[in-house]
Amino acid sequence: MRKVFVIIVAGMFLISCKKEIKQKGTPIAKVKNMVITQEEIQAQFPDIASPFASPEQKSKILNLAIEAAIFSLAAKDEGFLKEPEVKNKLKWAEIIALADIYIQKKIQPYIQVDPREIENFYQMHRNDFEKEIDVAYIIGRNKDTIEALREKMKSTNPVKVISEMKSSPDLLGNIEKANVGVLKINPELPQPLVNTILSLKVGEISGVVEISPFQYGVVKILEEGKAETKKEEIMQIIQAFLYYQKTQAKRDSILNILKQKYKVEIYKK
């Protein structure tokens, strides 16, 4: 939502305010001479067109767009467009928006996942999808702090350790059930963390793991059992994973071709 908000604001920065800006579609609001249409809002916030969206939710989204329009007009009136920092942000907002649109139009419509592919993937990894583990984890930015908490977890119940550190804004910790098969194919999870979890047996605790630059973690496997995740849910997750894989492969293929067309130069420091 925040990303879309930034793009909306960037787009409104670029609009001239000398005459009324008429957009094609059904007008639903107007800020000074900027007309906001139903079609624009639906394009930026697809959830607003959902039959399940309440009037309050739709009103909240519209208010978000109106606030963006107000702030963008104020910024233009106060000369913010002349500032180098603003120009740079607008430049990159446009770059990111166009890149997203290119992927949506040139790649995503041509990606298909056959139901047989989903079933075959499920059968190949069935043992993993039928297994569930309880994982205790703590993540933070200070390596020494994570090391100290790791020592506590070795001698104390992880529930108690996590409960004691939850008041700290610099630490994230919890105990969660994880389907092993789903864990392996979730592209949103940091791979070093996933690899560490999968390398442990029940009762084992990891060393301090560098999850990403300036972010460290420690995990402990508490229990292992039969997964409660329904097959229908798993099939949807597999479909999303295969779609993601195919999209990335197609994206990389097109990107390699475009790199030949648009010369890339990286300057060494």
Q: How confident is the model at residue 23 (pLDDT cuts 50, 70, 90)?
A: low
Q: How confident is the model at residue 22 (pLDDT cuts 50, 70, 90)?
A: low
Could you give all domains of the chain from N- to C-terminal order, each with its CATH number?
2-99 (no CATH), 130-226 (3.10.50.40)
- pLDDT of 17 > 50? The answer is no
Identity of the residue numbered 198 = L
Q: How confident is the model at residue 31 (pLDDT cuts 50, 70, 90)?
A: very high
Q: What do you get for the CA distance between the two ends of the chain, in Å?
A: 36
Outline where DSSP puts E strands in the chain: 27-31, 34-37, 131-140, 171-179, 209-212, 215-226
**Three-class DSSP labels, 106-149:** HCHHHCCCCHHHHHHHHHHCHHHHCEEEEEEEEEECCHHHHHHH
Question: pLDDT tens digit string along 135-146?
Answer: 999 999 999 999
Q: Which helix (H) or strand (E) holds 92?
A: helix 84-106
Q: How confident is the model at residue 9 (pLDDT cuts 50, 70, 90)?
A: very low
User: Helix 143-155 crosses helix 158-165 at what angle (to 10 degrees)?
Assistant: 140
How many angstroms separate the CA atoms of 116 and 119, rounded? 5
Q: How confident is the model at residue 219 (pLDDT cuts 50, 70, 90)?
A: very high
Question: pLDDT tens digit string along 76-89?
Answer: 999 999 999 999 99
